[in-house]
Amino acid sequence: MFALINFSYLAAAVCFILGIKGMTKPKTAVRGNQLAAIGMLIAVVAAMLDGEIISYVTIIAGMLVGGGIGVWLAKRTAMTQMPELVAALNGVGGAASVAVASSTWLHAFDANILGTTGWSVAIMASIVIGAVTLTGSLVAVLKLRGSLGETGRAKAWQAVTLICLIAVVVGSTLFINNANPNPLVLAALVGLCLLLGVGLVQPVGGADMPVVVALLNAYSGLAGAATGFVLDNQGLIITGSLVGASGLILTAVMCKAMNRSLPNVLFGGAFGQTSSGPKQDEGEFYEGKVKYATPDDLALLLDGARKVVMVPGYGLAVAQAQHAVKELANQLEKRGATVSYAIHPVAGRMPGHMNVLLAEAEIPYDQLKDMDAINPELPQADVAIVLGANDVVNPAAAEDPGSPIYGMPILDVHKARTVVVVKRSLSPGFAGIPNGLFIRENSLMVKGDAKDVLQATTSAIKDL
């Protein structure tokens, strides 16, 4: 039985690795997700066979309830709310680690069979990381929803964070080295860790929340791995390590895509506050310089275009315009045009977010091109249509050393022969700065909801 259980854990680990590998490409993402799910099922069954379980009724009931909640959340969550869902699931993982580690320690304390120093270290690591993940994720969810408003009082929160961090380090050290620890001390440490999680995330600007969510994903994995050491469960150690490593890689990818260092995200305040110069008045920046067009104008422009690049952004996701953009692309392709889609690494606020959204409309995978592949092609594009994107197409990132986003990798849509920006208003993106693309000589703006504009344009093209 021991050999079978270990082989099951190994099989689960292989499924996880292949699943993660599969999810790196849209074409294999579904299969990758299925492989990961199979791996988790194998790991759960192996854990149930591995442990000394008195009754399976409670476990099966918990699985049914948890699975039901998961299905309900997956069905009701809109694609634009995926970052919030990921953050919430990170918090659930952190809460599970805290609950398991705390209950395991209390059981050992009641039975007077406390483990070794290494075991106590694993207990504290699971509790500290898990509690920070729990409250940090809750704050991230609220910030992504806009419920907490501006960061405000960042210095005060950073002071709270520093005090809590020192208290947690000192308290954990004393707790681990105490031969007869008090359960009340453990409760106090849990409370401090929960406050520490709030303090770490509260000062971070809302624009940087996707990066923080990726980091919290890594935290949840590390907490799970620590819990694996607590329970002496190899499967949980492997799974937690994989989640932690992939979360850290995702964090690094997002920091690079946003030209931000992780310390700057965590301790530098909001995204748009890094500029040393005065904030430019948006009304003055745009006044009399934006050239507006209509869907009919866009239809005439596209009628003669041979190479068209669609640039989907968060606004397209909000408008649920993926099917409308596919319908327009079909009309253009009937007229002999070549259509491709420029995908920024953080389009839709999370890596892979936009790919999934466009896949819903059955847009061919070979038409989805990442930033490095599409940028050399943009100067040859007759028309580039920006659909709700903002900061990821702002030329200031490449041309203005004084801009807070200078150096951030962007899609070079400003190099296309004609750029058409479809946007509801001139409001800034997450960086909080004006976009010089909107006033370029080769730029037109069609104000309106992305879905409505695309449908009107498609109708106009059919009438030509």
User: Which amino acids are annotated catalytic?
Assistant: 391
Residue (of 309, 311, 292, 417) closest to 354 by Cα position: 311
Closest CA to 4 of 54, 45, 34, 37: 45
- Give a three-class secondary structure readout of the chain: CHHHHHHHHHHHHHHHHHHHHHCCCHHHHHHHHHHHHHHHHHHHHHHHHHCCCCCCHHHHHHHHHHHHHHHHHHHHCCHHHHHHHHHHHHHHHHHHHHHHHHHHHHHHHHCCCCCCHHHHHHHHHHHHHHHHHHHHHHHHHHHHCCCCCCCCCHHHHHHHHHHHHHHHHHHHHHHHHCCCCCHHHHHHHHHHHHHHHHHHHCCCCHHHHHHHHHHHHHHHHHHHHHHHHHHCCHHHHHHHHHHHHHHHHHHHHHHHHCCCCHHHHHHCCCHHHCCCCCCCCHHHHHCCCCCECCHHHHHHHHHCCCEEEEEECHHHHHHCCHHHHHHHHHHHHHCCCEEEEEECCCHHHCCCHHHHHHHHCCCCHHHEEEHHHHHHHHHHCCEEEEECCCHHHCCHHHHCCCCCCCCCCCCCHHHCCEEEEEECCCCCCCCCCCCHHHHCCCEEEEECCHHHHHHHHHHHHHHC
CA torsion, points 359, 137, 371, 454, in degrees to nearest 10?
50
Residue 147 Cα to chain centre, angstroms: 18
Structure tokens belonging to residue 64: 């049914």
Give the number of other CB atoms < 10 A from CB of residue 69.
11
